Every structure is written in structure tokens, then in C-alpha cells.
């Protein structure tokens, strides 16, 4: 019997269907599932995992936060514990009957480590079993049959590289989280999370906010003219651009009389707008967040589309299609869909398909479609991501866009103005990829010496702008540039910062007061914890494990020593750091003035003896005003007051819901919360395990 290990249920079912040549019902054993079939006279059993079925953790004696010496925790032993007993039990049950095991988990570091977990469980019951590896980048019939026709070996170095990351992140996360939480008194549900990648990432966000706060706006003025020629109106700006001297701008604006301009020059220039590169994980996430997805949600959807066999593996650094990828066959597949038929035909008419190409990496191919799926069979979020991937693929095969850029110079009573226009000579890839708009600015046909009528001349007062806050896409790009985390972990790191109430805002990320307190305290004492160089160096060391140049034990040991040095430095300043965080926490917990009659206290977020959170007056016991708070979700205080009762309004943000409410449970506006209806609908959409509609 041949035992096959798949990474997740949806992938296992699809692999079983392809290899068996038919749909298989599957047999449930507790929370585990198996697929049995025969192929070419051999018996097969496929057991899907649920991702990691073994967790890394410390022995039980280190569980108590208050009684554990952090210096001892740095060097504490690490255990690998089975967490999915039904699945591990099924593996142990079928292992003795198997002659061979084929690891068919995702072909990357994490997949290799997950496969090794299952293998070690199997080998505990069958030490001599033959081990093979199936590597694939898409779960299509061709890819799966090719992978199982050319089996390789399990890459133990790659698996140990992933395990070294798990062990390092466990130790760093546990030690730093407990340190910050203990010294600030933030225990239980209010603990302060920290980590090897999380802290440098949070520092990027806080430092950007500091730049914005320190930015000194500078006033400037622009002169904007509205001209007309043969009933066609167009705008032009003064050639000076920004006037930093208001007097100079006011002097220049006198040129509006008489209201007649003369064209002194016409410049035409062709510009090529290069087609986009194939999607790697970073560019995919930037594009997905630009159309409204969070980074973590985009990855969840892409992963599910991959497991269903619709797109290729979504975790890759590659932006060069392999020569083995049949571009025409992929376009023929997209022709099956009415949304892409005309576009695919347009590309197939080209004499040769030459895709754009970027950085070549030795992992999976760029993200691309591998099978057609009808729009009606996908939930809306899954279709949007699938369509994004399909359109990006076609855009990489299309021609560059070409524009004609026009600059018309106009003399308005000895003041120079310039009108700029742009028209597309060839829209090229822009026809396939509407996420990048093809903007045109049309100007009338003008020649040197022509006269144009001035309709309006405005002197616009403006101010310079601070650097923008990070969007999720921009933050992922910054993390990638600094080698913070991996393509597989960056989206989850950002999501963790949201869950821990360090950041808020989806389109523009804003750090909270607690985030400022944590980062400022660590920066003040020059801790390596917030420096991206530290994390990047550890990433390089883990790459050396993957390449077989270093052992997991060496790299984990060196990281423990680095953490030990950092901890000693932090312990010397624990009182000062703790005080700063407690002060910020108190400031962050103030919702506003108490509504009690004659009370001058403030409403503070508190927790009762049972752990439930509520608002209570700072003047307690003199004032006993309290309001209940939702027990789940992050709470943001809104600037507006309740229209019905004048009380404080809050926004509650959960993992799969968000809603606004008044804090007063007796307010009639409570009838309009809409929590149950809105969040339930969204949750039902997002929690589906498969992209296909039921």
C-alpha cells in the first residue's frame, strides 16, 4: 500500500480525484479523513493534514508567566507536541500497512516541515518505510500526474530551516511578550505581544508616524489658468510650479489682463508605459490590498483558489515564467470564460507570446491561472482575486502601452504657462488590466503663434504634505525590502499587529498610543529588538540551514545568545520601560468625560473580576457610572457623538465584522446597531473553507 500525505483537506480531495480518475467520497475518522483507491494494481490511501499537526512549545514547567525566570526561558528546551490527535492517530493506524509514503504537501519550506512532521509520526510505527516526495506548483491534472511520475526526495535541510524559524520565533516571542506584559502589568487578555519580526515591523509604522508629526508644513502658491480655444477649454499651470513667495505669486497673477495668451511652443513626446511583471507574492498582495482586501484575507483566498486547482501556488518570490509554462494553453483555458474570451483571443492572434519578466528566484513560478472556473461558481471575493490573477497574467503577455504626451507653452502677458496633455496611441496592456487606469487629458490642436482666450486665473494656496502613512501593500513592500519575515508570514504579522491593538485603520495604518510607548521605550534603550538588521541577519542564517551550510541547532543557539544579550539590556531598564507603557495604556483607555451629573471624572476602559470589560468612572467609588462594552473586537473611539442621546460613539472591529454603536445600552439608537445582520452575512462569506459556492 502507498500512503500519500496532502497538506489540507481540499488539496487531498483534489489529488485523490486526479489520481483515482474519479470523485471519491472519503471516509471520516474523527476529525481526520482518508481517501482509498486503486491505481495500476496498487492500493493507495491519501490522508490530508490540516497544515501543521505538530506544535512547538516549552515544557509545562515554563507555562506560568509570573513564576518563570525569563533568563531561563531563553535557554529552555523545546518540545514538538502533536496537536491534531485524530489525524496523527489515523497516520499511526495506516502506517504499518504502508510500503511507501509520498509527501505531497506544498512545495516550500513550510510544506516540507509539515511533511516531515507527518513522516516522523509514520516512522514511529513503520521505521523502514520508503519515503518519496511529490513536488508541484499547481493542483491540476497535468501537474499532479507529472509530479507523481517524477518523484524526488524530501528536503530535510529545507524542513529544518522552517523548524529553526518556528523555534526562534517561539523563544523570541515568548520572552519579549512576557517581558513587556509583566513590567507593564498587562496580563490576561490585555497582554502586550512582541516578537522577532513583529517589533521591527511595528517600529517602521511608528517611525513613519513620527516623521509625519515632526513634518513642518510649508505654504506655497500655484497659478492655474483656464483657457479656451474654439470652444474647447483646458487648464494650464504657471511654469514656476510652486511659488514659495506669496508676493511673487501675487505679482505674477496680475498677468490676467488682457485675457489673451499666445502659444510660444508645442512639444510632443512619445512615452512607453511598460507592462507589469508577473505576480510574485509581494506584488500580488500590493495589488490585492489596492482593491480593498486586507493582506491576510487576500492570502487566504489565494491559498484556497490554489488548493481548488484554479491558480498556481501563491507563495513565491519569482517574477519570471518558466519556459515549461505553456502560455497558449493557459490562454485557451481562459477562453472558456465569457469574461476573458475576447481578451484571450486578442493575445492568441499575436505571432509570438513574449511575457514580461523580472527577478528570477529558485522557487515556484509566478502566480498565474491554471484552470477556468465560472464566475457563478465562486463567491464574490474569490472571483475578484481570481479575476485579478487572470488579468495580470494576460497583461504580462500584452504589448506595452504607448502615449503621446503634449506640452503647450503659453505666454500670458509675459508670464509663462504650460498645459500638459496625454493621449494613448496604443493602450496595450491597459486594455487587460483595469486596475491601472488609462487616463487621458485632451488638448485642442494648437500651433505656435495661436491665440487662446483666458477664462479664469486662480491663485491657489497650498501646503506641502507629510510622508503618507503605510498602506498594507506598501508595508509588505517595505518588509520585503528589509527582509523582515518571509513571503508566507508578512501578511499574518500585519494581522497580528491589528489583533493586538497596536495599529488601526485599513487603508492608512495608524499606530496606537501603546505602540508608541513600546517602540519609544525600546528605541530609547537602543534595543536590537526593534532593528530590522537583527531580523534580516537571522533570516540569512536560516537560509544557510536550507542550503545545508549550517545546522538548525547552531542557528537556534546563536539566536538564543543574541536574545539573551538583548534581554539583559532590557532588564536593566525595566522600571522605566514599564512606567512609560503604563502611562500610555492609561491614556489609551480614556474614552471621554464622565456623563454623571456634576462629575468631573473620566470614563476608563476596565475589566471586572470575571474578566469582562466595561467603562467605569475614574472617580469611583464617589461616582458609580458604568457602561457595558462588547466583549469581543477592537474598540475605537469615534469623534462624533450619538445623535439620539449625546453619548460616546465607538466602532467595534472584529476578525470578520465591524460596526458602530452608542455606549449607552438604553439608547434607542441601539436598535440600529446592525451587528448581527451585517457581521453574520460577512462571516458566512469569509468563513467558507472552499472558494466554490455551496
At 302 the three-state DSSP class reads: helix
Given 44, 220, 306, 313, which residue is catalytic?
Answer: 313
What is the rounded (10 degree) CA torsion for 274, 279, 285, 286? -10
Task: Classify strands 626-628 and 613-617 as parallel, antiparallel or unpaired.
Answer: antiparallel
Question: What one-character-per-residue DSSP string does 318-332 give?
Answer: --S--TTS-HHHHHH
DSSP code for 340? T
* Residue 149 C-alpha from the chain's centroid: 36
d(CA 323, CA 564): 48
Task: Classify strands 2-6 and 100-104 as parallel, antiparallel or unpaired.
Answer: parallel
Phi, psi torsion values for 501, nearest 5 degrees: 65, 30
d(CA 607, CA 616): 9
Integer angstrom CA distances of residue 419 from 241, 309, 645: 12, 51, 53
Strand order of the β-sheet with 130-133 is 27-29, 32-39, 42-48, 2-6, 100-104, 130-133
Strand order of the β-sheet with 613-617 is 590-593, 602-607, 613-617, 626-628
Q: Are 285 and 299 in contact (CB under 8 A)?
A: yes
Closest alpha carbon to 168 in 74, 80, 83: 74
Task: Classify strands 130-133 and 100-104 as parallel, antiparallel or unpaired.
Answer: parallel
498 is catalytic: no
Place of cell 468625560: 593
Task: Classify strands 401-412 and 415-426 as parallel, antiparallel or unpaired.
Answer: antiparallel
Listed in sequence order, the residues at least 6 apart from 491 whose beta carbon sits closer than 8 Å to its beta carbon are 285, 294, 295, 296, 298, 299, 476
d(CA 290, CA 115): 34
Q: Are 24 and 42 in contact (CB under 8 A)?
A: no
DSSP code for 276? P
Strand partners, 27: 34
Listed in sequence order, the residues at least 6 apart from 40 whose beta carbon sits closer than 8 Å to its beta carbon are none
Q: Are 685 and 297 in contact (CB under 8 A)?
A: no
Q: Which three cell numbers stand for residue 639?
A: 469623534
Q: Are 377 and 185 in contact (CB under 8 A)?
A: no
Closest alpha carbon to 605 in 585, 595, 590, 587: 590
d(CA 148, CA 136): 9
**Residues designated catalytic:** 313
Amino acid at each position: 500500500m502507498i500512503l500519500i500525505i496532502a497538506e489540507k483537506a481540499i488539496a487531498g480531495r483534489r489529488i485523490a480525484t486526479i489520481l483515482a480518475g474519479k470523485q471519491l467520497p472519503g471516509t471520516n475518522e474523527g476529525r481526520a479523513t482518508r481517501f482509498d483507491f486503486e491505481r495500476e494494481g496498487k492500493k493507495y490511501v491519501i490522508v490530508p493534514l490540516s497544515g501543521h499537526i505538530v506544535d512547538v512549545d516549552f515544557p509545562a514547567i515554563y507555562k506560568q508567566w509570573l513564576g518563570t525566570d525569563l533568563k531561563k526561558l531563553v535557554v529552555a528546551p523545546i518540545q514538538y507536541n502533536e496537536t491534531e490527535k485524530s489525524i496523527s492517530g489515523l497516520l499511526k493506524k495506516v502506517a504499518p500497512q504502508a510500503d511507501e509514503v509520498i509527501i505531497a504537501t506544498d512545495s516550500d519550506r513550510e510544506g516540507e516541515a509539515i511533511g516531515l512532521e507527518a513522516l516522523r509520526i509514520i516512522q514511529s510505527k513503520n521505521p523502514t518505510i520508503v519515503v518519496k516526495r511529490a513536488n508541484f506548483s499547481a493542483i491540476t491534472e497535468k501537474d499532479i500526474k507529472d509530479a507523481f511520475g517524477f518523484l524526488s526526495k524530501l528536503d530535510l535541510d529545507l524542513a529544518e530551516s522552517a523548524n529553526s524559524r518556528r523555534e526562534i520565533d517561539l523563544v523570541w516571542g515568548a520572552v519579549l511578550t512576557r517581558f513587556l506584559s509583566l513590567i507593564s502589568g498587562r496580563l490576561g487578555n490585555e497582554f502586550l505581544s512582541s516578537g522577532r519580526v513583529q517589533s521591527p515591523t511595528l517600529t517602521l509604522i511608528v517611525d513613519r508616524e513620527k516623521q509625519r508629526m515632526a513634518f513642518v508644513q510649508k505654504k506655497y502658491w500655484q497659478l492655474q489658468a483656464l483657457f479656451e480655444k474654439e470652444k474647447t477649454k483646458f487648464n494650464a499651470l504657471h511654469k514656476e510650479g510652486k511659488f514659495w513667495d506669496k508676493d511673487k505669486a501675487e505679482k505674477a497673477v496680475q498677468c490676467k489682463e488682457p485675457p489673451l495668451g499666445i502659444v510660444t511652443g508645442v512639444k510632443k513626446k512619445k512615452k512607453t508605459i511598460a507592462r507589469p511583471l508577473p505576480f510574485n507574492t509581494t506584488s500580488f498582495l500590493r495589488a490585492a490590498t489596492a482593491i480593498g482586501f486586507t493582506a491576510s484575507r487576500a492570502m487566504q483566498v489565494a491559498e484556497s483558489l490554489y488548493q481548488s486547482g484554479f491558480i498556481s501556488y501563491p507563495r513565491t518570490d519569482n517574477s519570471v515564467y518558466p519556459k515549461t509554462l505553456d502560455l497558449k494553453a493557459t490562454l485557451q483555458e481562459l477562453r472558456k470564460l465569457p469574461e476573458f474570451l475576447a481578451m484571450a483571443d486578442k493575445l492568441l492572434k499575436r505571432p509570438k507570446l513574449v511575457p514580461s519578466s523580472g527577478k528570477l528566484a529558485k522557487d515556484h513560478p509566478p502566480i498565474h491561472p491554471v484552470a477556468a472556473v465560472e464566475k457563478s461558481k465562486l463567491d464574490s471575493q474569490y472571483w475578484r482575486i481570481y479575476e485579478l490573477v487572470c488579468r495580470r497574467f494576460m497583461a504580462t503577455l500584452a504589448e506595452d502601452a504607448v502615449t503621446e504626451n503634449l506640452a503647450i507653452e503659453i505666454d500670458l502677458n509675459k508670464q509663462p504657462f504650460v498645459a500638459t496633455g496625454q493621449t494613448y496611441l496604443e493602450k496595450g496592456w491597459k486594455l487587460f488590466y483595469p486596475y491601472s487606469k488609462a487616463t487621458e487629458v485632451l488638448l485642442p490642436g494648437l500651433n505656435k503663434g495661436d491665440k487662446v482666450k483666458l477664462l479664469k486665473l486662480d491663485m491657489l494656496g497650498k501646503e506641502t504634505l507629510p510622508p503618507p502613512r503605510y498602506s498594507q501593500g506598501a508595508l509588505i513592500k517595505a518588509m520585503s525590502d528589509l527582509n523582515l519575515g518571509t513571503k508566507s508570514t508578512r501578511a499574518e504579522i500585519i494581522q497580528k499587529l491589528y489583533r493586538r491593538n497596536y495599529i488601526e485603520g485599513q487603508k492608512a495604518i495608524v499606530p496606537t498610543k501603546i505602540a508608541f510607548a513600546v517602540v519609544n521605550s525600546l528605541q530609547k534603550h537602543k534595543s536590537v529588538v526593534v532593528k530590522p538588521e537583527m531580523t534580516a541577519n537571522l533570516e540569512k542564517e536560516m537560509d544557510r540551514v536550507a542550503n545545508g551550510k549550517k545546522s538548525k541547532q547552531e542557528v537556534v543557539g546563536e539566536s538564543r545568545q543574541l536574545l539573551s544579550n538583548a534581554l539583559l539590556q532590557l532588564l536593566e531598564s525595566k522600571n522605566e520601560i514599564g512606567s512609560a507603557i503604563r502611562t500610555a495604556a492609561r491614556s489609551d483607555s480614556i474614552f471621554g468625560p464622565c456623563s454623571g451629573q456634576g462629575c468631573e471624572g473620566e470614563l476608563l476602559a476596565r475589566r471586572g473580576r470575571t474578566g469582562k470589560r466595561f467603562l467605569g468612572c475614574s472617580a469611583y467609588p464617589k461616582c458609580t457610572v458604568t457602561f457595558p462594552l462588547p466583549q469581543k473586537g477592537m474598540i475605537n473611539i469615534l469623534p462624533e457623538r450619538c445623535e439620539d442621546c449625546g453619548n460616546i460613539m465607538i466602532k467595534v472591529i472584529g476578525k470578520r465584522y465591524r460596526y458602530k454603536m452608542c455606549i449607552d445600552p438604553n439608547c434607542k439608537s441601539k436598535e440600529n446597531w446592525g451587528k448581527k445582520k451585517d457581521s453574520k452575512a460577512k462571516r458566512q462569506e469569509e468563513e467558507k473553507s472552499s472558494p466554490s459556492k455551496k
